[in-house]
Amino acid sequence: MIRNIIKLRENTLLTIGRRIHLRCSSSTARSDLLNVLDREIEEEEDNLAKMDEYYDEDLSVLKRQFSKVEMNEYDPIIILEKNSSNGKTLKVRCNIEDEHEETHYLDVSISDSQNQTLGLRVEICENEINVENFSINDSDKIFDPNEKDNLYNGPLFSELEDDLQDGIMLYLEEHGIDSNFAEVMQNVIRVKEQEEYIHFLDKLKGFVEN
């Protein structure tokens, strides 16, 4: 009977010891993670301050070029829009996470008043701009996600005749989508990416602290 009681006490003490160890380990892990997050946030905020040097100027360029510049906190989407002198509407949509290495991808659309839209998948890298593919479809369909898979998206841009490629590129330049736009947009995207990363770290820190 006494041996059973002693054994029970030993097991109880072992269980309590494990629980205390887990609590200490958990507390240490939480503290360590918060320290790492504090350091990372401080470093990334310093990096952002360096990147901000020309940001206001770049953003002003976009606002002069486009009547609508939409960027919201905690949202990776950038929307640009303007009406051209020939009556067409230009829209640029960018998801800052839609990238590969140093290349970012934009969805550019030019719409007329006859329900027709020229849609282009555009790549920008530094001050270079390239078209991946393009299509022309009814406006009400090209902007409808349910119709996306039912539309002909056109050939790869690189497969077109050289003079047709040149003509499309000049048409884009006429609407302001050129090397200067690519450089400014790339700079704005980089700052936006940095801001969103810091927001992400702040949210993670708040989650760990609670």
Q: Which residue has the higher pLDDT, 145 or 54?
A: 54
Q: How far is the C-alpha of 195 from the C-alpha of 80, rounded, in Å?
A: 19
**CATH code where residue 74 lies:** 3.10.280.10
Is 96 a domain residue? Answer: yes
For residue range 111-123, list pLDDT tens digits in order: 998 989 999 999 9
Range of the domain at 96: 53-197
Contacts of 189 (CB under 8 A, 6+ apart): 78, 94, 96, 104
| The overall pTM is greater than 0.85 | no
Per-residue model confidence (pLDDT) at position 75: 92
Mean pLDDT of 87-91: 93
Tell me how many domains the chain contains. 1
Is 61 a domain residue? Answer: yes
User: Given the structure tokens 């998948």, which residue do they identify?
Assistant: 121
